[in-house]
Each structure stands twice: as C-alpha cells, then as structure tokens.
A and B are shown apart, each in its own frame.
Chain A
Amino acid sequence: MQDMNLSDLFVSLTSRIGLNYEFLATGYESQIWRDGFVTTLYLVALLIPVSLIFGLLFAACLTSGKLWLSSPVRGFVELTRNTPTLVQLMFSFLVLNTFVSNLVGGAQNNPLTPFFWVVAVVGLHIAALHAEAIRAGIEAVPASTIEAARGIGFSQFQILRYVEVPLAFRASLPAIVNNLINLVKLTTVGNAIAVSEITYASIMVWTQRDNVVSLMIAILLFFSIINLIVARIGLWVERKLAVPGYGI
C-alpha cells in the first residue's frame, strides 16, 4: 500500500514538469519496465566475469607462441572486433540459432535462449577487446624480468601465471575498465532480439504511450549510475594493486 502511494506521488509530481510516467500505475507495462532494470543488472553482473575469463583465455592463447593455439584465436578476435555487435547478435540469433535447432531436431529441443545469445555475443566481443588489452600488457613486461623467471626454473605456464599476468593485468587495467564500461552500454543491443532489458522494456512502453522523453531520462540516469560505479570500482582496484616504484 505504501509503495502504491509512493509511485502515485511520483507520477503526479513528474506530471507537473511535463513528464509522463502514468504507466507505472498500470499492470503489465510497469511490470515489464521494473523487470527491465533487473534484467540489465543481471546481464551486467553475468557479463563482467564472462568477458574477463574469456579475455584472459584469449590473451594466453595469443601470446602462447604456439601457432595452432594463437591463429584460431587471432582469427576470432579479428572477426569479432571488426564487425558490428548488433549484426553479430542478429546473425547468431536468426541464423546460428536456427541451425542449432535443426541439428537437435526442432526448436523445442533447443535450450539456447535469446538471453544466452546476448551473453555469448557481447561477452565474447568484449573478451576480444580485453584480450588485446591484456596482450599489450603481457608484451610490456620487460624481457629481463621473464629471463630472470626462466633463470630460476619457471615453466612457460608458471611464467604466465606468476610473472606475466600479474604485471600485465595492472598495466592493462585502465583499458579493461574502459571495455567494461563499454560492455554495460552494449547490453542494450539485447532489445533487437527481444531480451527484456531496460531499453527493450522502455520501447515496449513508449511505442504505446509515446512518453519517450520521460523514459529516456530514466535510461540515461540508470546507465550513468551503473557506469559511475564500475569506473569507481576500477579506480579502486587500480590503486589497491599499484606496485610502488613500478610505475603502474
């Protein structure tokens, strides 16, 4: 009851300055819209770890020096970096997904949802950008440091695990945070394949009620806040991990 009154108050206050949030008093539209915020946050929370894990994996392959490992990853990175994410998403959902359905004998057996495709496409797209950032970091580790590690008997993997990645991660952190901010914004491509994140939910409402300005303000504020938090956390991690005297 208290909640009801609050949203009524909000609707009447905002209507005085010419904004229309009347739909909040209705059934399914306000439900879709509220769920939209949750879905976007859920996407962000899922995509950040997914992109980081795959980014690290890709970077490890790229710098492994083994052609059979690095060349397929290099091919994937080039493909995903150089094509629009929206096109990748439409292609995955409308073409690859249909192909998978045919393989498993009908769409009813296909467990892949639009949500999965957004996570896969956006996650791997940002992972490719992470990989390039981390690769730059790995290549910035001084050759003498690696030589020293090899000198005390580290294997190739141990060098990666204990020497290269910790230093490379610090060097590439600003670029990675940049990618993560981009990732938060990229979740909005989900609206093209009916994943009910916040822009999809807003389109559903404003195509019926034509209150575009009101909803745009809410979307812009929402993403500003998320990204402010992501950037702040990034900065905090950067400071926390700083190696005194190393310069990064």
Chain B
Amino acid sequence: MPSMKLATMTSAFALSIFSLMATQASADATLDRIKGRGALTVGVILSGAPFGYIDPKTQEQKGFNIDIAKALAEDLGVKLETVTVTPPNRVQFLQQGKVDLLIANMQYTEDRAKVLDYVPTAYDRAGGAAVVRKDSGLKDWADLKGKPVCVSQGSNYTQPLIEEYGAVVKALPSQPESLLALQGGNCVAAVHVGATVGLLLEDRPEDWKDYAIPFPTELIPSDSVIWLRKGEKDTQTALDNSVKKLHASGKLLEFAKSNRLLNTKFLEEQQKALSASK
C-alpha cells in the first residue's frame, strides 16, 4: 500500500513538472494570437527614466521602452497592452505566455539565446556604469577587486564583475534598492545600465552630489534586443521588419532624444546603415 501511494505521488509530481515544461514550449502561433486578439502584450520594466517609468503627474507609463512598444503595436495594427515585469521574473512572464514579448532592458547574451529567441535587429546598445562616491578614489573597473558592489537581481553585469574584476557582488531586488544600499554605504559602487544612472545623477543633483560615474569605459556594452519565446519565427520576422523600419525612419533616434538617452551613437549608426540599404 505505501509503495502504491509513493508511485501515485511520483507520477503526480512528474506530471506537474511536465505540464510546466509544456507551457514553456507551446504557444507557437503568437503572431496569429496577437492579430486575433487585436492586442500586443509587452513586458516592460519601470525601473526609472529614461527606459521606463510612471509619470508622477499623469500616472501614465513613459520612456524609451514604452515608446518602442507603442510603435511596434502601431506597426502591427493592434493596440498595446503593457505588463510590468522585474529582472527576476521577466523570463517566466514570457515563457508562461503572460506577455508576447519583452522590451525590458535585456541585452543579448549567449546563455539567454539558448532558452529564448530574439529579434536580430537591436533597438539600442547599452553597457554598465558604476556609480561611486566621489571621495572613494575608485578610478577603473579593476579597482573594484574584493570590494562590495551592488547590482539588481538578474543583472548581466554580475558575471563579468565577479569573474573579470573579482568584485563581491550583492544583488538587490531592483535598481532603487541597490542605489539606496550604495547611499547607505553597504557597497562601494552600484552598477546599472549607463543611461539610467547617468540621467539620475543629472536630474537629482541634490541627492547625488557626492556621487559620480568616474570609470572611462562601460561594462560589456551589448545589444538590447526584444526577446521572444523559443521557436516563434513568424513573430520574429514581423518584429524584425518593424524594428528595421523604426531605425530607417529615424523614429528610434527620435524616441531616444525625446527620452534623453545620453549616448545615441549606436542609433545614429544604425539609422545610417539601414536607411542606406533601402
């Protein structure tokens, strides 16, 4: 009798795992579903300007990522729905079908490309910048060796910080907590997407007057791409065309400027390249 019970339990457990796996692999016809529903569901991160934030006055979502999402929905001829995600949960939202795609500050990495598909044309290029105290004497990434460094959970700066620079990484739930931990002196540096922290220091000079971004280079500058569930070739092709169009028409550059992205070199190059090839 007990062995019987164990067998039932084991199979129930296996079944539940299997069904979890199945949800990850199914739902290939995303493009049909988007058109059928007349709505595109995009997972966005609202961790602060310029990429995504809530306007305190109008309570509307704004930012570079939101603008791109709106333009993509427009191009597909459907309306936009956004879902707020965070770095630790964004991939699950995508895999479980809660969102159709992610425009969530996710750079291309080989590990990610193993489990997810992405739109080949990047919409931006971003690297990490370190916010440190002005009196800390830190000059370059190598100075972080053996020192506590705050990042947000899910940050792709974790690995290079540990493996290349030997830093002691403390990952907090999101960027605001990480920056608070920096101000509280729990780490010597907070490493986040360059454009976000650059704008923060510019916009709130009072709160951040003792801090600077002194390192001359960005950490692993890599392509920000739109992420999709594995195997969704139709959606991928449709979105790739849309992103190319947005580059060529100069709209992405326009979004970048209106949202005050500090470094638009990559977008300018892309616009030139893509509008020339037309």
A and B from one complex:
yes
> Contacts of A210 on B, CB cut-off 8 Å?
91, 95, 112, 115-116
| Complex Cα spacing A97 to B181, Å | 10
| Selected contact of B17 from candidates A28, A108, A213, CB within 8 Å | A213
- Does B231 sit within 8 A of A, measured CB to CB? no
* C-alpha gap A207/B18 in the complex (Å): 21
Contact, CB under 8 Å: B163 / A28:
yes
Q: Is B170 part of the contact surface with A, judged by Cβ < 8 Å?
A: yes
Residue of B158, B173, B185 near A101 (CB, 8 A) is B185
- The distance in angstroms between the C-alpha atoms of A30 and B158, with both chains bound, is 14
Which residues of B sit under 8 angstroms from A98, Cβ to Cβ?
183-185
A232 within 8 A of B: no
Complex Cα–Cα for A27 and B109 (A): 18
Which residues of A lie under 8 Å from residue B109 when comparing CB positions?
208
Size of the chain A interface, CB-CB below 8 angstroms: 30
Interface size on B, residues (CB 8 A): 35
How far is the CB of B221 from the nearest CB of chain A, in Å? 18
A64 to B95, CA, bound (A): 57
Q: Of A27, A93, A203, A212, which one neighbours B153 at CB under 8 angstroms?
A: A203
The answer to whether B48 has its CB under 8 Å from any CB of chain A is no
A184-197 CB contact bits vs B (8 Å, 1 = yes)? 00000001111000
Is B21 part of the contact surface with A, judged by Cβ < 8 Å?
yes
Q: Does A71 contact B (CB under 8 A)?
A: no
Which B residues between 140 and 198 are near A, CB-CB below 8 angstroms? 150, 153-156, 158-159, 162-163, 170-173, 177, 180-181, 183-186
Q: How far is the CA of A237 from the CA of B153 in the complex (A)?
A: 41
Task: Say if the beta carbon of A72 comes within 8 Å of chain B.
Answer: no
- Give min CB distance, B204 to chain A, whole Å: 17
Chain B CB within 8 A of A152 CB = no
- Which 4 residue pairs spanning A and B have beta carbons closest together? A107-B185, A207-B154, A194-B170, A98-B184
